């Protein structure tokens, strides 16, 4: 019997949409109370990892990191000693969802914010979570933290971010999980129409909106950094590689070399997740050795377009030792967790 395959991909967005806010009687902003659970493989989780680092929220919200692979049941803490998250003392993220709702019926997803006193999930609603880190946790931002969602730019930012989400972030999945040729063809055309638009937009401006990095750049970067290692081949997004888009490739390198972006990227975990977990697309489970990653730290030349990464702010400080990416998984990262330019 042949398994039924959906002709076109539709993302399940039925998340736990509770929020941690300043005035919430249930989930108030409270440093030390919550743990952000991510996987470095997941682009949606990477958004939160980057925003947390850029804003300097490491002391306010702790970080739990799941391994890059999971089964149909849950993400697991297999990177930690004994396979247990050292703070939550649980082997699977599913346990935190079950603590919130026994028999939890929906997907176990990262990123998730977990309440430490009850060891239960508060929210996995990633589209709202990064905005709340910006707006609700501002009392705990580091000195010099950038304004990632400026009020004066929101009228321009919001439609840009919406198009990035629907056409690029989700567009690569629409290609990869298409179950019929017409659905794939349509998804492919939509994706590259959007990438062509971004290539043109970024030809004469350094950042997507304004003259310093914003949340729009964070949300686009997490897809761009996965494009050549995963989406180009695995998801059949193969009209062109990222390195074949002059402006987009230079823009991506500019962001990658900015503290908070490239120093949180784990290329090996990214590849292992997609090529191992998606057994319907890659039944052999073979993880490709490529692509060559040496170009990520080469000069990008974007300084000539003006602007600066952090505007009137400053770069985040050093990454805590326990949160550093393994240099074996990102050749641009040194043992100290700092990005080092290619020779």
CA 69 to chain centre: 16
Q: Are the CB atoms for 285 and 272 separated by under 8 Å?
A: no
**Which residue numbers are catalytic?**
42, 173
Longest dimension (CA), the chain: 61
Binding-site residue positions for glutathione: 75
């Amino acid at each position: 019997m042949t398994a039924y395959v959906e002709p076109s991909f539709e993302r399940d967005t039925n998340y736990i949409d509770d929020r941690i806010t300043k005035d919430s009687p249930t989930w108030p902003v409270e440093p030390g109370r919550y743990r952000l659970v991510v996987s470095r493989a997941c682009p949606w989780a990477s958004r939160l990892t980057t925003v947390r680092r850029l804003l300097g929220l490491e002391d306010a919200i702790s970080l739990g990191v799941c391994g890059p692979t999971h089964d149909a049941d849950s993400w697991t803490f297999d990177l930690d000693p004994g396979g247990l998250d050292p703070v939550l003392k649980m082997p699977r993220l599913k346990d935190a969802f079950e603590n919130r709702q026994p028999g939890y019926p929906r997907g176990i997803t990262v990123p998730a914010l977990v309440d430490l006193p009850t060891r239960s999930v508060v929210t996995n609603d990633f589209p709202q979570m990064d905005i709340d880190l910006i707006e609700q946790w501002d009392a705990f931002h580091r000195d010099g933290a950038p304004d990632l969602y400026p009020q004066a730019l929101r009228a321009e930012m919001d439609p840009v971010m919406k198009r990035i989400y629907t056409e690029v972030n989700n567009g690569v999945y629409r290609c990869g999980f298409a179950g019929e040729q017409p659905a794939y063809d349509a998804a492919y055309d939509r994706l590259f129409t959007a990438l062509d638009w971004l290539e043109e937009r970024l030809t004469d401006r350094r950042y997507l909106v304004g003259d310093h990095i914003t949340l729009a750049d964070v949300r686009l970067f997490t897809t761009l950094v996965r494009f050549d290692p995963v989406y180009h081949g695995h998801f059949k997004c193969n009209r062109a590689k990222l390195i074949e888009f002059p402006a987009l490739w230079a823009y991506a390198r500019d962001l990658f070399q900015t503290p908070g972006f490239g120093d949180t990227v784990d290329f090996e975990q990214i590849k292992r997740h997609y090529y191992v977990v998606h057994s319907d697309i890659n039944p052999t489970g073979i993880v490709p050795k490529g692509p060559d990653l040496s170009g990520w730290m080469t000069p990008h030349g974007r300084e000539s377009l003006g602007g600066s990464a952090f505007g009137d702010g400053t770069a985040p400080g050093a990454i805590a030792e326990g949160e550093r990416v393994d240099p074996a998984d990102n050749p641009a990262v040194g043992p100290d967790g700092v990005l080092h330019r290619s020779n």
